[in-house]
Amino acid sequence: MAKIKKTIRRINIKADLCNGCRLCEIMCSAAHSTPKYGTINPARARIQIIRDPLKDIWLPVFAGEYTPAECSGRLNYEIDNKSYGECAFCRAVCPSRGRFVEPDSGLPLGCDMCQSDPELETPACVEWCMRDVLTYEEREVEVEEEDLKLDEMKIGLEALANRYGMDEIKDAVARMSQKA
């Protein structure tokens, strides 16, 4: 099996340094708006600060994968004598909470590390965090070819198959082929 190089992009979060200014939320929403930097709306941000100020909780969390169903259990973290509510560290865009969904459409939001055209040097949230809470790194790792995730089209097809069933997808593709 051939080894290939893959770039891992990572945002490190030092939550203890967060002072709750929310510039990360503001700039995330600006960078993802159309036209770019045309609108500001932290509710559309792919990073959000879970906050309970008097309890000293300021926790930046990034939007992760969409999940159609709630998980079966809940976690409760006790760290440094502070109690983090259930779901605090969870990145899932999940029906159990309103976080990380487009306010208008309800569609899920996901952190894409600001992959855009033109490419940003670092994600907007990292660029505008002035307290080094968020830092960005890229590193190259060698992986087996098989380990690579499905590419974008396959992911899309898989989602469609989950929703409509494989037979429906096959029929649709067959009909589209005949038209073409």
Enter the DSSP assignment of 133. Answer: S
Tell me which stretch binds another protein (CB under 8 A): 5-13, 39-47, 143-151, 159-167.
39-47
Q: Does 77 bind another protein (CB under 8 A)?
A: no
H or E, element range at 164: helix 152-164
Q: Binding another protein by CB under 8 A: which of 1, 2, 54, 176? A: 54
| Residue 155 · residue 66 · CB < 8 Å | no
H or E, element range at 125: helix 124-128
Q: Binding another protein by CB under 8 A: which of 130, 143, 166, 173? A: 130
**64: nearest Cα among 97, 26, 17, 35:** 97
| Residue 66 · residue 108 · CB < 8 Å | yes
Shortest distance, position 57 Cβ to another protein, whole Å: 10
| Residue 115 · residue 109 · CB < 8 Å | no
Of residues 8-27, which lie at the interface with another protein (CB under 8 A)? 19-23, 26-27
In the complex with another protein, which residue's Cβ is closer, 33 or 157?
Answer: 33
Tell me which stretch binds another protein (CB under 8 A): 34-42, 67-75, 147-155, 158-166.
34-42
Q: Does 88 bind another protein (CB under 8 A)?
A: no
d(CA 42, CA 48): 8
Shortest distance, position 149 Cβ to another protein, whole Å: 32
Tell me which stretch binds another protein (CB under 8 A): 29-37, 59-67, 68-76, 132-140.
29-37
In the complex with another protein, which residue's Cβ is closer, 6 or 99?
Answer: 99
**60: nearest Cα among 111, 104, 112, 101:** 111
| Residue 27 · residue 52 · CB < 8 Å | no
Which residues bind to another protein, rule: CB under 8 A? Answer: 19-23, 26-27, 30, 33, 35-44, 52-56, 58, 103, 128, 130-131
